[in-house]
């Protein structure tokens, strides 16, 4: 029960890493608000967790839409009374080689992966500032530090997450709030299912630890940064990638 009594908001919590984090955070004693734009998957997960006796609820929002996010924040603050932990996990890819990448695809990925993190952080910060405590954990990627072929948009967005994290660590550390990022390598979720088998085999060669990551590998890193054990860790990028060579 490492985050017992805390209220955590997990964006992109309907599926993949976020859904695993929602379950692990519940099991560790937190009340969990799941934000996602996939209403069906989000409601189903919240109902399942509720049926198992956990305190979880779903709130529909597109993180790139400020009005949506502010509305969800209002409802979450009303229902739970406070938010102690924000996990900015929602993210998308729209891959293409740069010369074939539409500007709209470039902008869309930045809208979700960068503006989405900004919108959610801005929406949940005021109650943390008022409480003089809080944890913000955002999701970068090895693409943000090393770059990935065919992912100029995604790599730029995940580098931006690191920039925002380090800025907010300085801006909000003095208010008792820590801000950190997790940088996953290749994790077995829907996100990497579109990668051709040949490329998967090449990627495998670059991971010294002999397997792909699992959603719980990343969710447990979120949990650590949200726990009391990490109270003096601020502004870091925690790599969860099996030591992937970049």
Smallest distance from ligand NAD to CB 208, Å: 17
Of 6, 7, 9, 12, the residue at the interface with ligand NAD (CB under 6 A) is: 12
Helix 66-80 to helix 116-131 angle, to the nearest 10 degrees? 30
Q: Shortest gap between Cβ of 180 and ligand NAD (angstroms)?
A: 14
The one segment of 56-64, 78-86, 94-102, 167-175 that binds ligand NAD by CB under 6 A: 56-64
Q: How many residues sit in the footprint of ligand NAD (CB under 6 A)?
A: 27
124, 137, 43, 139: which is closest to 92 by C-alpha?
A: 139
Catalytic residue, candidates 58, 154, 168, 222: 154
Of the candidates 7, 9, 36, 77, which one interacts with ligand NAD according to CB under 6 A?
Answer: 36
For the question of residue 222 being annotated catalytic, the response is: no
Q: Mind giving me the DSSP string for 80-121?
A: HS---EEEE---------GGG--HHHHHHHHIIIIIHHHHHH
Please tell me whether residue 135 adopts helix, strand or coil conformation. Answer: strand
| The dihedral sign for the CA sequence 142, 187, 51, 63 | positive
Return all residues near 73 (Cβ < 8 A) that are at least 6 apart. 83, 120, 123, 124
Please answer whether residues 73 and 119 qualify as being in contact, where contact means their C-beta atoms are separated by less than 8 angstroms: no
Write the DSSP symbol of residue 236. Answer: -
- The residue within the footprint of ligand NAD, chosen from 64, 151, 165, 234 (CB under 6 A), is 64
Q: Of 8-16, 162-170, 173-181, 230-238, which segment contacts ligand NAD by CB under 6 A? A: 8-16
Q: Which of 23, 30, 31, 62 binds ligand NAD (CB under 6 A)?
A: 62
> CA-to-CA distance for 171 and 234, rounded, in angstroms?
11
Using rule CB under 6 A, residue 46 touches ligand NAD: no
β-pair type (56-60, 85-88): unpaired
Residue 242, Cβ density class (10 Å: 0-12 exposed, 13-18 middle, ≥19 buried): middle
- Examine residue 89 and tell whether it contacts ligand NAD (CB under 6 A): yes
Least separation, in Å, of the C-beta of 176 and ligand NAD? Answer: 26
Span from 1-9, 120-128, 182-190, 230-238 in contact with ligand NAD (CB under 6 A): 182-190
**Is there binding between residue 141 and ligand NAD (CB under 6 A)?**
yes
- Dihedral pair phi/psi, residue 30, rounded to 5°: -90, 155
Site for ligand NAD in 144-173 (CB under 6 A): none
> Of the candidates 119, 127, 139, 151, which one interacts with ligand NAD according to CB under 6 A?
139
Residues that bind ligand NAD (CB under 6 A): 12, 14-18, 36-38, 62-64, 89-92, 112, 116, 139, 141, 184, 186-187, 189-192
Catalytic (active-site) positions:
154
């Amino acid at each position: 029960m490492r985050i017992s009594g805390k209220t955590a908001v997990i964006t992109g919590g309907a599926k993949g890493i976020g859904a695993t984090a929602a379950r692990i955070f519940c099991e560790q004693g937190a009340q969990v608000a799941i934000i996602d734009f996939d209403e069906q998957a989000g409601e189903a997960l919240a109902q399942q967790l509720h049926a198992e006796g956990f305190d979880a609820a779903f709130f529909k929002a597109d993180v790139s839409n400020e009005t949506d996010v502010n509305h969800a924040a209002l409802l979450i603050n009303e229902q739970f009374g406070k938010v102690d932990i924000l996990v900015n996990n929602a993210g998308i890819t729209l891959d293409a080689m740069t010369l074939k990448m539409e500007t709209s695809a470039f902008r869309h990925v930045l809208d979700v992966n960068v503006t989405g993190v900004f919108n959610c952080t801005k929406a949940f910060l005021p109650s943390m500032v008022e409480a003089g405590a809080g944890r913000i954990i955002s999701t970068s990627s090895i693409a943000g530090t090393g770059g990935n072929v065919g992912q100029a948009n995604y790599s730029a967005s995940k580098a931006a997450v690191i920039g925002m994290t380090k800025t907010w660590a300085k801006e909000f550390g003095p208010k008792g709030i820590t801000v950190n990022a997790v940088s996953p390598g290749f994790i077995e979720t829907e996100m990497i299912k579109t990668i051709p088998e040949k490329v998967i085999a090449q990627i495998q060669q670059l991971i010294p630890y002999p397997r792909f990551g699992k959603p719980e590998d990343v969710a447990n890193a979120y949990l650590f940064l949200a726990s009391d054990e990490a109270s003096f860790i601020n502004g870091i990028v925690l790599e969860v990638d099996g030591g992937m060579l970049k």
